[in-house]
């Protein structure tokens, strides 16, 4: 009996991630390189079918990774996605629904008064950086933060990051000194000095390379959060000229935007080469992910409907690649839907955090998907945007004056339901048959509408999601 007890004890202490096929267990604390690009759309890769954009380094990463074909951002723009990535919680939990004010756009065309929007992530929330730091990781942020200010005690250092370069909500310029002409100083921490004309994407890559070298003996979490390809649309002249000489198509044809994409691709290539040269690749989990869909004024996500700022697929379906050499079978695609809140529990699982500081998260670990195992059953994904987001100038794909009016959305199985609050309109789509969300099935399939609406309503009650109901006195119907 004593031998049996010892055997059971040994079995119980085997690593959680051991492969069923007898492969060696992954390391206890693999390095984590999380590459977060801004406004990078689902089709903004040559490997995604673009005949204009050139992304050879990311394409190579794709061949070495698991590719998630149905990955989603939590919000249709930057701030809610980043807050939910950091916390593992849906936006009603932290109150960050949009960038800036929720009352955006022409007031006379807003039928409702939107809910109050938070622009700062309350330091009381435990971030994934704090979790990893608590378990022994060095934690670094290089690039965009957008969830608070260091001077106000809400910057990256207050949320678990030991090291920060950038740490701002955006960039006024991509060229040094990275500021508007009249600004007193650069808005970015650690980038006060530099060379005239230095390109921000290149500089962030330089800093990432240095950081990885400085932490090669320690487990590290590097949140490499490029500002690109967010506006302002600026790129190096030599690369712009290359794309001016290249023929585009009706979907991808902006040479400056294409040049921004290429600079990020080059930077990612340099960072991955650094991991190789330091012999860290086999002990590093690498993630490539975007905070929302591409900006409709400069790119298209066809065949998806919509773009950044919308809860249609073009605004929230994003590229996601995950490489983990020796643990994740490369070159594999999965159509398992995942969303930004899922990274929190997934990274905790990968880092083998047994006693997290925060167990109350909305996300679901997709580690089984990475290991080519059967994922846990998931009933639905949710989005909640009780605000207004005005249309982008130059975006011919938006017929309304708003990209997004107050709306909640659910995806369950192949079906997706949008519920708009101004008029109670409901739109139901079968994504398997209609990825472009072109045929509204709401009147033809009322039973499915009710099923999804009931689930959405239950989720809103569970998360205490605020619903805009108060009429806007400034509204002037046409």
Where are the domain boundaries for CATH 3.40.720.10 in the chain?
26-370
Q: In CATH, which of 3.30.200.20, 3.40.640.10, 3.30.1120.10, 3.10.20.90 is domain 381-463?
A: 3.30.1120.10
Tell me how far apart the alpha carbons of residues 188 and 262 are, in angstroms, rounded to a whole number.
23
Q: Give the pLDDT of residue 478.
A: 80
Largest CA distance in the chain: 82
Q: What is the dihedral of CA 390, 394, 398, 400, to 10 degrees?
A: 50
Q: Is the pLDDT of residue 24 over 90?
A: no
- Closest Cα partner for 233 from 243, 223, 224? 243
Does the pLDDT at position 228 exceed 80? yes
DSSP code at position 377 = P
Is pLDDT of 408 > 60? Answer: yes
Q: What is the pLDDT at residue 18?
A: 41
- Closest residue by Cα to residue 467 from 121, 116, 118: 116
- In the sheet that holds 284-290, the strands lie side by side as 163-168, 138-144, 220-225, 31-37, 284-290, 320-324, 66-68, 332-334
Q: What are the tokens at 6?
A: 């010892």
Alpha helices in 151-310 (DSSP H): 200-214, 237-244, 255-277
- 217 CB contacts (<8 Å, ≥6 apart)? none
Helices 343-350 and 78-87 cross at an angle (nearest 10°) of: 40
Task: Phi first, then psi: give them for residue 398, nearest 5 degrees.
Answer: -105, 110
Residue identified by tokens 């701030």 is 79
Q: What is the mean pLDDT of the segment spanning 8-24?
A: 38
* pLDDT of res. 371: 96
400 — pLDDT class (breaks 50, 70, 90): confident
pLDDT at 1 over 70: no
Q: How far is CA 135 from CA 28, 139, 175, in A?
A: 11, 11, 37
Strands 317-318 and 284-290: unpaired
Q: Are 73 and 316 contacting, i.e. CB atoms less than 8 angstroms apart?
A: yes
Closest to 165 measured CA to CA, from 227, 86, 99, 232 = 227
113: nearest Cα among 100, 104, 105, 103? 103
pLDDT at 27: 64
Flag the least confident range among 18-32, 78-92, 142-156, 399-413. 18-32
Does the pLDDT at position 375 exceed 90? Answer: no
Where in the sequence of the chain do the CATH 3.30.1120.10 domains occur?
A: 381-463
* pLDDT 10s digits, 169-215: 999 999 999 999 888 888 999 999 999 999 999 999 999 999 999 99
Task: List, in order, residues 6 or more apart from 58 with CB less than 8 Å away.
Answer: 45, 47, 265, 268, 288, 321
Closest to 370 measured CA to CA, from 342, 400, 412: 342
Element (H, E) at 66: strand 66-68
Q: How far is CA 280 from the centre of its chain?
A: 25
DSSP state of 222: E
> Mean pLDDT over all residues of the chain?
93
φ, ψ of residue 404 in degrees (nearest 5): -140, 130
The SS3 call for residue 425 is coil
What average pLDDT does range 10-16 have in this prediction? 35
Measuring CA to CA, which residue among 246, 238, 169 is closest to residue 202? 238
Which pTM does this prediction carry? Answer: 0.94
Q: What is the CATH number of domain 26-370?
A: 3.40.720.10
* Residue 222 tokens, joined: 């590097």
Residues above pLDDT 90, as percent of the chain = 88
Q: 199: how many CB neighbours lie within 10 A of its CB?
A: 22
CB 77 within 8 A of CB 292: yes
- Residues written for the chain: 478
Rounded-to-integer distance, Cα 316 and Cα 338, Å: 11
pLDDT at 6 over 70: no
What pLDDT sits at residue 343? 98
């Amino acid at each position: 009996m004593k031998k049996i007890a010892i055997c059971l004890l040994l079995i119980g202490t085997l690593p959680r991630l051991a492969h069923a096929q007898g492969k060696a267990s992954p390391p206890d604390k693999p390095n984590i390189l999380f590459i977060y690009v801004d406004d990078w759309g689902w089709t903004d890769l040559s490997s995604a079918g673009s005949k204009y954009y050139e992304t050879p380094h990311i394409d190579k990463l794709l061949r070495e990774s698991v590719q998630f074909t149905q990955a989603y951002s939590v919000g249709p723009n930057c701030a809610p996605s980043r807050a939910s990535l950091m916390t593992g919680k849906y936006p009603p939990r932290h109150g960050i629904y949009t960038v800036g004010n929720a009352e955006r756009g022409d007031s006379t065309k807003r039928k409702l008064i939107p809910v109050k929007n938070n622009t700062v992530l309350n330091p009381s929330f435990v971030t994934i950086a704090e979790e990893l730091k608590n378990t022994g990781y060095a934690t670094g942020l290089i690039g965009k933060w957008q969830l608070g200010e260091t001077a106000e005690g809400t910057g990256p250092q207050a949320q678990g990051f030991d090291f920060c370069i950038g740490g701002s909500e955006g960039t006024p310029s991509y060229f040094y000194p990275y500021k508007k002409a009249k600004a007193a100083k650069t808005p970015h921490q650690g980038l006060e000095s530099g060379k005239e004309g230095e390109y921000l994407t290149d500089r962030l890559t330089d800093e990432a390379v240095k950081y990885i070298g400085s932490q090669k003996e320690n487990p590290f979490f590097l949140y490499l959060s490029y500002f690109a390809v967010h506006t302002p649309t600026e790129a190096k002249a030599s690369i712009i000229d290359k794309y001016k000489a290249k023929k585009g198509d009706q979907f991808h044809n902006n040479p400056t935007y294409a040049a921004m994409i290429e600079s990020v691709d080059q930077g990612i290539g340099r960072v991955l080469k650094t991991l190789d040269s330091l012999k860290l690749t086999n002990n590093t989990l690498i993630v490539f992910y975007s905070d929302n869909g591409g900006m409709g004024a400069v790119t298209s996500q066809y065949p998806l409907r919509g773009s950044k700022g919308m809860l249609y697929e073009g605004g929230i379906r994003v590229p996601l690649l995950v490489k983990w050499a020796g643990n994740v079978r490369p070159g594999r695609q999965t159509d398992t839907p995942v969303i930004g809140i899922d990274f929190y529990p997934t990274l905790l699982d990968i880092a083998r955090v047994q006693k997290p500081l925060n167990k109350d998260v909305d996300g679901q670990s997709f580690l089984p998907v990475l290991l080519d195992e059967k994922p846990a059953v998931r009933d639905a994904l949710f989005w909640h945007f009780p605000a207004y987001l005005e249309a982008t100038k130059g975006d011919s794909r938006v017929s309304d004056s708003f990209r997004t009016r107050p709306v909640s959305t659910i995806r369950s199985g192949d079906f997706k339901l949008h519920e708009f609050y101004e008029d109670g309109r409901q739109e139901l789509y079968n994504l398997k048959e209609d990825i472009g969300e072109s045929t509204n099935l709401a009147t033809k399939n009322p039973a499915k509408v009710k099923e999804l609406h009931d689930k959405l309503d239950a989720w809103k009650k569970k998360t205490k999601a605020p619903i805009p109901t108060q009429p806007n006195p400034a509204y002037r119907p046409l």
